[in-house]
Amino acid sequence: METVGVLTSCVLSFLAVFILLAFLAVVIRLVTALFPEREAGIDPAVIAAIHSTVAAQVPGAQVTRIEEIRK
C-alpha cells in the first residue's frame, strides 16, 4: 500500500514541476514579446568611453573608425 502513496507522490511532484516550468515558459515568452531586442548599433556612451580611454592612454591619438565584430 505504501508503494501506491510513493508513486502518487512522485507523479504529483512531476506534474507540479511540469506545470511550473510551463508557466515560466509563458512568462518568458511574454517578457520577450513586450521588450524586444534593441536595434543593432553602437551605444553613444560606448563611443564616448572609447574616445576618452584612447585619449587618456595615447595623448594626441584620434579614433577614426569603430567596428563591432559579432561572432
Which pLDDT does position 1 carry in this prediction? 59
- DSSP state, 59? T
Residue 39 lies in a domain: yes
Q: Is residue 65 part of a domain?
A: no
Contact between 7 and 31 under an 8 Å Cβ cutoff? The reply is no
Which residues of the chain, if any, have pLDDT below 50? none
The answer to whether residue 62 sits within a structural domain is no
H/E segment holding residue 16: helix 2-34
Q: Specify if 49 maps to a domain.
A: yes
Number of domains the chain contains: 1
What is the C-alpha radius of gyration for the chain, rounded to an integer number of angstroms? 26
Q: Is residue 29 part of a domain?
A: yes
The Cβ-side half-sphere exposure at 52, using a 13 Å CA radius, reads 6
Q: What pLDDT was estimated at residue 69?
A: 79
pTM to 2 decimal places: 0.51
- Is 69 a domain residue? no
Q: Which domain holds residue 18?
A: 2-57
